[in-house]
């Protein structure tokens, strides 16, 4: 039995130093009086190097900042007061209102970025100030773009320059004044209007509301006028010149919009008519008398209205002057005397148009040839030159030349317009 005891003592002595060296020493921390010490808790790191050490030993929690409840810098911001919350909501509602002008919006955005005092200042002071400025700008814009009644009402509101006057104009005055302007505009539409526009305008003038009248003037008139314009274009084909007729056919081949139909009626048709008139006047120059030629050249060098007036009345006036200058109201006679080999005679004729021809003829008796015809007339020519057929051929060739010149001129104008 001695050998096992000896072995136990030797084993205990061998492991005692290892146990003693690896155990923590609590002797210095042990409280006096024999009270047993409780389990110790490691100190919480407070930042700095301690925070870094906690990050190293904390594994996945190393990235979270340490929060010290006692540190005032780490406390959450104080909640907004109930009044400030109400003010903020009111400012946001003003900013979201589509009726708010640019000045109000800018001031509201600035207040929302500021403090509670800035919100209250906006609601009590800035909102009214900026709204007044925005209203003044709106009234000025409406006054500039409106009709006579709107301009007058807008100027009165701007002269008063008070919130009440501006608000009254924006809420009521502008609508009442615009109704008057719209009725005046509809009366203007009746001048040269088609059947559709005429019926619609008369109905609205009798019983239309301001809203109905405004809708008609703004948009409704265009659809009705497009129908009237199509009817007018078909009627215009009757008696149209070649250029105008071609333009109408090409337009109606497609699907023109109301705006395109209106443009043709107000602008294009007049340009094409003028080109056709120019061709007619150029062709008229051939064989024209002095007055007719002078008037035709003036029309060619004038305005489209000058050319239309010339074809309507001017050419007739010029032709009358040429007839008066030739003294074609009397009858002509002629006598001649001479030797047995020659004779001469002169005379005038009422036939013909512009000029008188004096003929000289040779004969075998004492009585000369007194048959004299005006140029272009139906009287017999003296037997000294070309016959009637030759003269007609020459006149037709000259007329064709004049017409060709007019067509060439119109063609150049069309090409220039297409390039422009």
- Angstrom CA distances, 340 to 61, 113, 331, 359, 362, stand at 151, 127, 29, 19, 11
Residue 221 predicted with pLDDT over 80: yes
Tell me how far apart the alpha carbons of residues 249 and 113 are, in angstroms, rounded to a whole number: 65
- Average pLDDT score, the chain: 73
Q: Which of the four pLDDT bands, split at 50, 70 and 90, describes residue 414?
A: low
What Å distances lie between residue 188 and 116, 143, 185, CA to CA? 58, 21, 5
pTM: 0.51
Distance from C-alpha of 44 to C-alpha of 49, rounded to nearest angstrom:
12
Residue 241 and residue 276 in contact, taking contact as beta carbons nearer than 8 Å: yes
Q: Burial code of 192-203, b = ≥16 C-beta within 10 A, e = fewer? A: ebbebbeebbee
Assess whether pLDDT exceeds 50 at residue 331. no
Q: Is the pLDDT of residue 394 over 90?
A: no
Say how far apart CA 357 and CA 351 lie, in whole Å: 11
CA pair distance 108, 344, nearest whole angstrom: 110
Confidence at residue 212, expressed as pLDDT on a 0 to 100 scale: 96
49-102 per-position pLDDT tens digit: 444 443 434 444 444 444 454 444 444 446 789 999 999 999 999 999 998 999
Q: Assess contact for 193 and 228: CB atoms under 8 A.
A: yes
**Least confident window among 33-47, 148-162, 284-298:** 33-47
Q: In this predicted model, what pLDDT tens digit does every residue of 238-285 receive, in sequence order?
A: 989 999 999 999 999 989 999 999 999 999 999 999 999 999 999 999
Question: Shortest CA distance to 376 belongs to which of 324, 313, 326?
Answer: 326
Task: Kindly state the helix (H) or strand (E) to which residue 216 belongs, with its residue range.
Answer: none
pLDDT at residue number 5? 52
Please tell me whether residue 23 adopts helix, strand or coil conformation.
coil
Question: Distance between CA 260 and CA 230 in Å, rounded?
Answer: 11
Backbone φ and ψ of 405, nearest 5°: -60, -40
What is residue 25's DSSP assignment?
P
User: What's the CA gap between 105 and 111, in Å, rounded?
Assistant: 10
User: Residue 242: what pLDDT?
Assistant: 95
Task: Tell whether the model's pLDDT for residue 19 goes beyond 90.
Answer: no
Report whether 289 contacts 354 (CB < 8 A).
Answer: yes
Compare 43 and 240 and report the one with higher pLDDT: 240
229 vs 259: CA distance, rounded Å: 10
Q: Which of the pair, 292 or 46, is modelled with greater confidence? A: 292
Question: 220 near 251, Cβ under 8 Å?
Answer: no
Most confidently modeled range among 3-17, 263-277, 363-377 = 263-277
Q: What was the pLDDT predicted at 247?
A: 96
Structure tokens at 58: 């904390």
Query: For the chain, what is the total number of helices (H) and then of strands (E)?
Result: 19, 0
- Among 147, 145, 154, smallest CA distance to 172 is for 154
pLDDT tens, residue by residue, 140-185: 999 999 999 999 999 999 999 999 999 999 999 999 999 999 999 9
Task: Give helix 127-145 / helix 148-160 axis angle, nearest 10°.
Answer: 150
Spatial CA neighbour of 147 closest among 224, 203, 226, 218: 218
For residue 378, what pLDDT is reported? 36
């Amino acid at each position: 039995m001695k050998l096992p005891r000896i072995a136990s003592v030797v084993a205990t002595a061998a492991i005692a130093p290892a146990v003693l060296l690896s155990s923590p020493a609590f002797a210095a921390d042990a409280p006096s009086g024999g009270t047993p010490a409780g389990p110790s808790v490691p100190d919480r790191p407070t930042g700095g190097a301690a925070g870094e050490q906690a990050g190293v030993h904390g594994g996945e929690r190393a990235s979270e900042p340490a929060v010290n409840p006692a540190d005032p810098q780490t406390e959450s911001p104080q909640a907004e007061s109930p009044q400030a919350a109400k003010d903020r909501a009111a400012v946001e509602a003003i900013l979201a209102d589509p009726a708010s002008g640019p000045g109000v919006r800018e001031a509201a955005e600035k207040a929302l970025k500021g403090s509670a005092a800035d919100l209250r200042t906006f609601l009590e002071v800035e909102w009214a100030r900026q709204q007044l400025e925005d209203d003044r700008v709106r009234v000025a814009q409406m006054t500039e773009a409106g009709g006579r009644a709107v301009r007058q009402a807008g100027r009165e509101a701007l002269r008063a320059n008070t919130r009440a006057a501006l608000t009254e104009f924006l809420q009521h005055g502008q609508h009442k004044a615009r109704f008057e302007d719209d009725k005046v505009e509809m009366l203007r539409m009746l001048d040269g209007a088609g059947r559709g526009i005429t019926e619609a305008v008369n109905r609205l003038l009798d019983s239309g509301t301001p809203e109905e009248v405004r809708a008609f003037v703004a948009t409704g008139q265009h659809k009705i006028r497009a129908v009237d314009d199509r009817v007018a274009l078909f009627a215009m084909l009757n008696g149209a010149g070649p250029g105008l007729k071609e333009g109408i056919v090409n337009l109606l081949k497609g699907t023109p919009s109301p705006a395109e139909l209106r443009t043709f009626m107000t602008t294009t048709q007049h340009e094409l008519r003028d080109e056709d008139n120019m061709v007619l006047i150029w062709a008229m120059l051939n064989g024209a008398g002095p007055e007719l030629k002078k008037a035709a050249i003036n029309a060619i060098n004038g305005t489209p209205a000058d050319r239309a007036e010339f074809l309507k009345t001017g050419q007739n006036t010029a032709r009358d002057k040429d007839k008066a200058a030739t003294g074609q109201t009397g009858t002509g006679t002629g006598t001649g005397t001479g030797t047995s080999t020659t004779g001469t005679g002169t005379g005038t004729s009422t036939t013909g148009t512009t000029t008188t021809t004096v003929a000289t003829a040779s004969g075998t008796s004492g009585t000369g040839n007194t048959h004299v015809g005006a140029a272009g007339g139906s009287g017999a020519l003296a037997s000294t030159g070309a016959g009637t057929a030759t003269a007609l051929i020459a006149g037709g060739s000259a007329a064709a030349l004049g017409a060709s010149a007019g067509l060439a001129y119109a063609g150049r104008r069309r090409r220039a317009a297409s390039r422009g």
